[in-house]
Amino acid sequence: MKRFLSVFLFLGGLLVAGGANAAGDIRFAISGTNVVVTISGTVDPTALAVGGLRTDSYGFVNSTAYFFSQVQCQEYGGLFASSSQKLTGPSNWGQGGYPFYWSASSPTGGGFGIDASNRSLCLPVGYQAGQQLVGTATIRNTSYYALGLNTGVYTYTWGNATQAETLTVTVVPPPQP
């Protein structure tokens, strides 16, 4: 019985530890009349195709793309990558119009972005797999409705069964009055 229990706990531990090796997180939350975006976690872009360098002058494009600051970032995945070398997941986080741009104020952290419609991820130039992603930005005087965001959890994956990676975009429900 003890041997069975030991094997069961060992296999259970493997199942819990299995799946994604790292997880990045982008979280949108309402704070008064602003939308605050927080970036955290780690990712490994190794399985994604390397694209070009990108610099965006806005913090938020629409409900299909978010770019964290105005510094240069390295794009991974994208339109011209094979399907096995780009992100899989939803193409947007709501019904936001195209195009519109919102400046993010007070950004901290390095360049970071995700473009759901192009299936690409943008990481700080020189980012090493497993480095901690940390940052916040505020999109002032706006709402989810104005940004075209729907509350929910949107998960993106890449890689294979042994090297699977995830990035989650969470649009937190607004506080109740």
- In the chain, the number of structural domains is 1
Domain containing 124 equals 20-171
Alpha-carbon distance of 149 to 122, in angstroms, equals 20
In eight-state DSSP terms, residue 143 is: -
Alpha-carbon distance of 15 to 41, in angstroms, equals 21
The size of the chain, in residues, is: 177
> In this predicted structure, what is the pLDDT of residue 55?
65
Per the domain annotation, does 8 fall within a domain?
no
85-118 confidence digits (pLDDT tens): 888 888 888 876 554 566 677 777 766 778 887 7
> What is each CA distance from 80 to 31, 46, 50, 120, 133, in whole angstroms?
37, 17, 10, 10, 26
25-44 confidence digits (pLDDT tens): 989 999 999 989 888 999 88
> What pTM value is reported for the model?
0.78
